[in-house]
Structure 1
């Protein structure tokens, strides 16, 4: 029955494609479908996508060479209303019979549904690109304009249409550029002395250079450069329209003689228009309204004060410390007018997160005797003091069959009247898992509840003044947070306590720093005896070795070690004196020691006192920027402060020789990470993205391994998609354990993303990576990274994905195939599990990188 169903589906899909595969079925009889553009420049065919973007008509979108979107469009009826009426009237009594059976209203709704479905099919599809003579001519002119703007003033372009009997055609564009023009000399004709003086200061930075080929883009950049310079040097009245150029190319032997022309300022009054030289302005006063609303615009202020020469006003009483406001304002009384100060003030006020986007206006100072003073008026509208967010979520994963979760955050702005923000959050989740120990468990048998409190200050909290190192234009912040959590979702009843103190600032719009002075985490496991119930792979390893060693089980029927007493005693005996004289191989003992060490590490309490610094460079300008790069570098160090403190205090020493703090062996390690992302926009419908990650955490001093919560794992929807989370590595070990983790990781990803139909996107990807143990207590060579030869253990996955772009998020379905599996024997690793039976299906939100 299943095979019959599959055949029916296959026949239906094949029939659909055959029906709609006539790509020219919607092309008028005397017209051609555009299938290819070709641009020949000076006798050479070019492939530059930017030049092809100048064309007004481009072929229909293709995926793997097939115009699926066009076929979808062709599947719809051309005139669905007429088609429905023709069908309705094809048989004399059909309309009468349907009206009697459905009623006139229902028949009308049936017709509208038919029309709506066909219109929807057209919408998600793509209409055929029919060659249009007017658009061809427009493309020809745009090609000429493109090259003329780059110095080939005598460019000539033409086109030809090469059609065939199947109504398909290729359009060939021929471009002859001829000799380009070179900038020969540059002069300046500037009327205002102050403008000329500023021009002379920076003319060496000009985008227009003698001897270079003419390029209109350089002239546009030069206009922007001069306008920016002048408006940041006091010329409040200056704008781009005042900068023009005159070019002489008549009988100059393809040389361009360029003259800057910057006239005096033009002033228009109701009675006349006249000119006068530009002059430099100073900001005499900065007036700040801290609670502006449009409804109060004509009301009288109830409160005002002067702070550091800033004038602050309020309608309903000043509710902010003056310094908190003025620290976010770069426009300074008594300084020369600079347009950049207004831009910085916009950003810094917005970063406070207590006001809406501000209004900043300048007006002449009527009290200035020389007439070159300005008043900056800054209108601030407060956001709501209190804000409540509540989110619910449902999920499933390899660890959790089903789970529901909530998170709520209550925010209080301007807590201490210094633009601080306090966030109080609570979270909770309930889930169902097969990994829980109780056989008589209820459906919801795992939980995670917790709460956090975070206080953010819009400045650096430090005993010394840091303004010279981190000035206010960098939007410095100090964040203090604490949180608690109570989990039984891994069966060990884990409790967490977190404390953090960090600084954040942005030196430029693309670069940011995060300095964490203290990040303290305490993890306590209350139910450590449950370890082998939770980590069943570890239990199976020990139980199998017990069986092969001749061990006499207490439960002779099940031949399974009892948890926890029997299995604990077995490990003590096997790794100790072996009083029962059981038979173990060296590999058996090594494996038992590894399991015992892992149990100790995963069930021990952790105290982590770390500091870290993170640098991020992100060139992405906005969400529509599809060509960008992002770097993230992080260095973390843990345990050094506690090591010094416990040595000075001579605290307790554990059996293994490690120091304790607050009764817990603290972790000591150094960790570094590098993360890189690069996106290239291939065309308006395709993006190529790559990602690389490398991270290593090295234990030393008081530790011989990395805490589980600070280690690396591999696999999953945002990593190597041919393996499930925690299911890859370490090295070539073959994922022996329930949760595989290590302290060294490499990950590389490449993905080609393309549009299928409108918001429906597709992707082809290749992922490579693995985790290893290095410089820690792990001795099994299959787990360890011992040299460059171990790079041959990089796991490779490849596959495809389907995504739907909802605008504010992307829902993602990816299928990954194991292409190179390092867990298999050498020589048998490539494409041995490349099939749907071994495929991994991933569901994710937004793109993986």
Structure 2
């Protein structure tokens, strides 16, 4: 009853704010309430035209509630009172309909359509007034568009003609719409291809299109040629334009001022270091070693000038921790040579950060956090040394579960390999990270766990792709169980928990992780997706070594240093798609599937490597690791059921995110998922994955959340409720009237996905 009362109260408040919208609309004027675009041509995407509308209504939360306008309208007219000034500062004033802005929008839309080939398009506006609100509709009559009839390349220069005639890479296609944007992109493609071959002085303005639309039938003939003034220029001018340049030297200059001169004669008080035509000029107290800069520079002496090399150098250097700003320029020093000047402004190298998290589910409170300090230039070569300390506590009935841990990482901005030449390692442009960690978990009256690990990982980026390869990671897990816990849950006659999870074990694994995004920083309002994929294997090397050495199995397993080791393969795929409606509203879809298979030396995957469901980033109607596997019914009387893990994971989420006021965001979400075991384990009855039953075992949850956007991090509070609980009887599975036990509260840093 109380839950429904609070929900009704929130709904009434939202409706009040959405209705009281014209309080500060002056007499004789109108609140712009809705703007829409209608087209008679399905090929014209209305969403792409919205950004050209000059005047849009006040932002609406979830597309209906104008919260920021509502806050503004809560203010009184007496501006001497601080509360009124504060409400007006936090909220947004009403957007008043402006006929001039509507006319300018028509002009903008007309221009955009003409550039897309709809030269004869007409735009009609339908403005209606209801009460004190205005509704504006832009109606597009596209008419017959112009299309490309013939495309001719009329370039006298052989180099230009060969590149422009590359039909495989050309963006110009027969019978395409007369799209100005495509023609401009093709001109840029040709220009980039020419500059990639060392033609430093060439730019796209040297190329011109000539159109002939006298054919009628809405057809256009196009030709590509050099600018007329270049045709008339002397040979000496053309020789400058079509002259190839090589890089003579690359000169790095480190300084706290980005606007430094590149005149080397004025650097008398600076130290100079030279290596293979790379020169570092820096203060006597050197900020960075030359080798670290060379390793992350794609511009090479004695090579042709390349735009791509410049962009990759910007990107690579800007990823180095001690660098704040990079500026690259070139100077002609000979008839066909360039000196490259790279000015580097350093940033702060030592940072300290903290993270907090909290959970509440089924009456259990949990809180955790970590402190992380990083020195991003520990050896003056952009090496990053990190030190993280973590602690977590959870109150479960009569015990306090505690977890402590430390992690140390040392990352080098280069590939550290036992083979390969200097140039080979430099061209890889990879990072090498050494990590070690130690954690301790205590559950009084039950068990303690100590986990020590260390490994080596290589990572590298290629445009929109990120890759990492874990060469190896070796971890040793030591578990000490209390006698009372063993008697109750690990009784050999009928164990309630899998005994395998409570024995000491080694994990020696290697793996690959990849990530991809379609996000374009130049078009942040465009829909985009991100994907992540991981695969790891463990125990194969030790298993092969055991067979080669002829070791004998003990209790059905090989051992390493008298400790059993795990053997498995595990993979996971994660996909997130952002559907952006406007700068204040978006719908985010998330899909996550994972599979782990034990084999060889193991019958089950180690507990810490198995999947779990529920929690702040999963099905939020359940607490962390309190859902599944399958329809497994948790052990009553246990503060935490360690059987609630699986080998197969499925998460599906849909979340609507909306900006409410300033830094406050709201969200509503629907989650689905569960975990399953891949084998029939006696201690996890009902948890096995079966194709004919898994669909009915997918749990559902819904909820609301608020997020505080502090620019540098997101503080998140989510309240989830069970909607469908597959464990319960058929009559109780659908939780239409949720009680307090059906709720789970989550606190975290950052978005859930």
Query: TM-score normalised by the shorter chain: which range applies?
Result: 0.7 to 0.9
Cα displacement string for residues 320-356 of structure 1 (whole angstroms, at most 9, x for unaligned residues)? 7765443322222222211111112222233443444
Shift in Å, 1:214: 0.5
Indicate conservation of the 8 Å contact 2:571/2:596, yes or no. Answer: yes
Cα displacement string for residues 148-194 of structure 1 (whole angstroms, at most 9, x for unaligned residues)? 11112122222232334x23343343333332222223344557x36
Indicate conservation of the 8 Å contact 1:387/1:412, yes or no. Answer: yes
Indicate conservation of the 8 Å contact 1:460/1:466, yes or no. Answer: no
Indicate conservation of the 8 Å contact 1:301/1:313, yes or no. Answer: no
Shift in Å, 1:743: 1.9
Q: Which position in structure 1 is the counterpart of 2:343?
A: 379
Gaps of 5+ in 2: none
Q: Which position in structure 2 is the counterpart of 1:658?
A: 557
Say whether 1:174 aligns with 2:139: yes
Q: Which position in structure 1 is the counterpart of 2:126?
A: 160
Say whether 1:825 aligns with 2:729: yes
Say whether 1:692 aligns with 2:591: yes
Indicate conservation of the 8 Å contact 1:151/1:213, yes or no. Answer: yes
Gaps of 5+ in 1: 82-110, 267-271, 438-444, 533-563, 576-592
CA distance in 2, matches of 1:814, 1:388: 29
Indicate conservation of the 8 Å contact 1:761/1:802, yes or no. Answer: yes
CA distance in 2, matches of 1:794, 1:172: 44
Give the secondary-structure state (helix, strand or coil) at the position aligned to 1:601: helix
Shift in Å, 1:687: 1.1
Q: Which position in structure 2 is the counterpart of 1:515?
A: 469
Larger Rg: 1
CA distance in 2, matches of 1:131, 1:847: 36
CA distance in 2, matches of 1:392, 1:689: 24
Shift in Å, 1:730: 1.3
Shift in Å, 1:732: 0.7
Cα displacement string for residues 625-653 of structure 1 (whole angstroms, at most 9, x for unaligned residues)? 66221222222111111222234445574
Q: Which of 279, 283, 291 is residue 242 of structure 2 equivalent to? A: 279
CA distance in 2, matches of 1:199, 1:15: 64
Q: Which position in structure 1 is the counterpart of 2:385?
A: 423
Q: Which position in structure 2 is the counterpart of 1:76?
A: 75
Indicate conservation of the 8 Å contact 1:699/1:776, yes or no. Answer: no
CA distance in 2, matches of 1:505, 1:531: 49
CA pair 17-324 structure 1, distance change in 2 beyond 3 A: closer
Indicate conservation of the 8 Å contact 1:286/1:378, yes or no. Answer: no
Q: Which position in structure 2 is the counterpart of 1:743?
A: 647
Indicate conservation of the 8 Å contact 2:360/2:744, yes or no. Answer: no
Q: Which of 393, 412, 415 is residue 460 of structure 1 equivalent to? A: 415
Deviates more, 1:168-177 or 1:510-519: 168-177
Deviates more, 1:150-159 or 1:321-330: 321-330
CA distance in 2, matches of 1:20, 1:186: 55
Indicate conservation of the 8 Å contact 1:194/1:279, yes or no. Answer: no
CA distance in 2, matches of 1:261, 1:775: 69
CA pair 759-429 structure 1, distance change in 2 beyond 3 A: closer
Give the secondary-structure state (helix, strand or coil) at the position aligned to 2:447: coil
Q: Which position in structure 2 is the counterpart of 1:632?
A: 532
RMSD between aligned alpha carbons? 3.7
Shift in Å, 1:215: 0.9
Q: Which of 476, 493, 496 is residue 430 of structure 2 equivalent to? A: 476
Cα displacement string for residues 576-614 of structure 1 (whole angstroms, at most 9, x for unaligned residues)? xxxxxxxxxxxxxxxxx241x52x233321211111112
Give the secondary-structure state (helix, strand or coil) at the position aligned to 1:413: coil
CA distance in 2, matches of 1:835, 1:451: 39
Q: Which position in structure 1 is the counterpart of 2:482?
A: 529
Indicate conservation of the 8 Å contact 1:265/1:276, yes or no. Answer: no
Deviates more, 1:696-705 or 1:623-632: 623-632
Q: Which of 497, 512, 525 is residue 452 of structure 2 equivalent to? A: 497
CA distance in 1, matches of 2:312, 2:517: 19
Give the secondary-structure state (helix, strand or coil) at the position aligned to 1:788: coil
Indicate conservation of the 8 Å contact 2:629/2:684, yes or no. Answer: no
Shift in Å, 1:748: 1.0
Say whether 1:716 aligns with 2:615: yes
Deviates more, 1:132-141 or 1:831-840: 831-840
Shift in Å, 1:814: 2.1
Q: Which position in structure 1 is the counterpart of 2:115?
A: 149
Indicate conservation of the 8 Å contact 2:359/2:623, yes or no. Answer: no
CA distance in 2, matches of 1:763, 1:70: 19
Shift in Å, 1:449: 4.1
CA pair 233-158 structure 1, distance change in 2 beyond 3 A: same
Q: Which position in structure 2 is the counterpart of 1:128?
A: 94
CA pair 30-745 structure 1, distance change in 2 beyond 3 A: same
Give the secondary-structure state (helix, strand or coil) at the position aligned to 1:184: strand
Say whether 1:349 aligns with 2:347: no
Q: Which position in structure 2 is the counterpart of 1:254?
A: 218
CA distance in 2, matches of 1:436, 1:466: 61
CA distance in 2, matches of 1:302, 1:653: 66
CA distance in 2, matches of 1:362, 1:487: 57
Deviates more, 1:791-800 or 1:769-778: 769-778
Indicate conservation of the 8 Å contact 1:492/1:530, yes or no. Answer: no
Cα displacement string for residues 494-517 of structure 1 (whole angstroms, at most 9, x for unaligned residues)? 2221110121122x2211221112
CA pair 361-46 structure 1, distance change in 2 beyond 3 A: closer
CA pair 250-69 structure 1, distance change in 2 beyond 3 A: same
Shift in Å, 1:59: 3.5
CA distance in 1, matches of 2:689, 2:419: 45
| Structure with the bigger percentage of helix | 1
CA pair 375-814 structure 1, distance change in 2 beyond 3 A: same
Say whether 1:809 aligns with 2:713: yes
Give the secondary-structure state (helix, strand or coil) at the position aligned to 1:723: coil
Q: TM-score, normalised by structure 2?
A: 0.87
Shift in Å, 1:662: 1.5
Q: TM-score, normalised by structure 1?
A: 0.78
Q: Which position in structure 2 is the counterpart of 1:557?
A: none
CA pair 605-54 structure 1, distance change in 2 beyond 3 A: same
Shift in Å, 1:200: 4.3
CA pair 728-237 structure 1, distance change in 2 beyond 3 A: same
Q: Which position in structure 2 is the counterpart of 1:239?
A: 203
Deviates more, 1:25-34 or 1:827-836: 827-836
Indicate conservation of the 8 Å contact 2:592/2:651, yes or no. Answer: yes
Q: Which of 681, 698, 706 is residue 580 of structure 2 equivalent to? A: 681
Shift in Å, 1:141: 1.5
Give the secondary-structure state (helix, strand or coil) at the position aligned to 1:357: strand
Give the secondary-structure state (helix, strand or coil) at the position aligned to 1:830: coil
Shift in Å, 1:733: 1.6
Q: Which position in structure 2 is the counterpart of 1:104?
A: none
Cα displacement string for residues 196-222 of structure 1 (whole angstroms, at most 9, x for unaligned residues)? 345445366332334222011112212
Indicate conservation of the 8 Å contact 2:153/2:161, yes or no. Answer: no
Number of residue pairs matched by the alignment: 733
Q: Which position in structure 2 is the counterpart of 1:106?
A: none
CA pair 148-19 structure 1, distance change in 2 beyond 3 A: closer
* Residues 541-620 of structure 1 aligned to structure 2 (within 5 Å): 567=488, 571=491, 575=493, 593-595=494-496, 597-598=497-498, 600-620=499-519
CA pair 637-723 structure 1, distance change in 2 beyond 3 A: same
Give the secondary-structure state (helix, strand or coil) at the position aligned to 1:694: strand
Give the secondary-structure state (helix, strand or coil) at the position aligned to 1:57: coil
Indicate conservation of the 8 Å contact 1:387/1:410, yes or no. Answer: yes
Indicate conservation of the 8 Å contact 1:20/1:75, yes or no. Answer: no
Indicate conservation of the 8 Å contact 2:121/2:142, yes or no. Answer: yes
CA pair 514-318 structure 1, distance change in 2 beyond 3 A: same
Say whether 1:328 aligns with 2:328: no
CA distance in 2, matches of 1:708, 1:695: 15
Shift in Å, 1:51: 2.8
| Structure with the bigger percentage of strand | 2
Shift in Å, 1:772: 1.4
Give the secondary-structure state (helix, strand or coil) at the position aligned to 2:184: helix
CA distance in 2, matches of 1:642, 1:11: 62
Q: Could you say which structure has the greater relative contact order, defined with CA pairs below 8 angstroms and 6 or more residues apart?
A: 2
CA pair 13-118 structure 1, distance change in 2 beyond 3 A: farther
Q: Which of 251, 259, 263 is residue 288 of structure 1 equivalent to? A: 251
CA distance in 1, matches of 2:18, 2:677: 56
Give the secondary-structure state (helix, strand or coil) at the position aligned to 1:202: coil
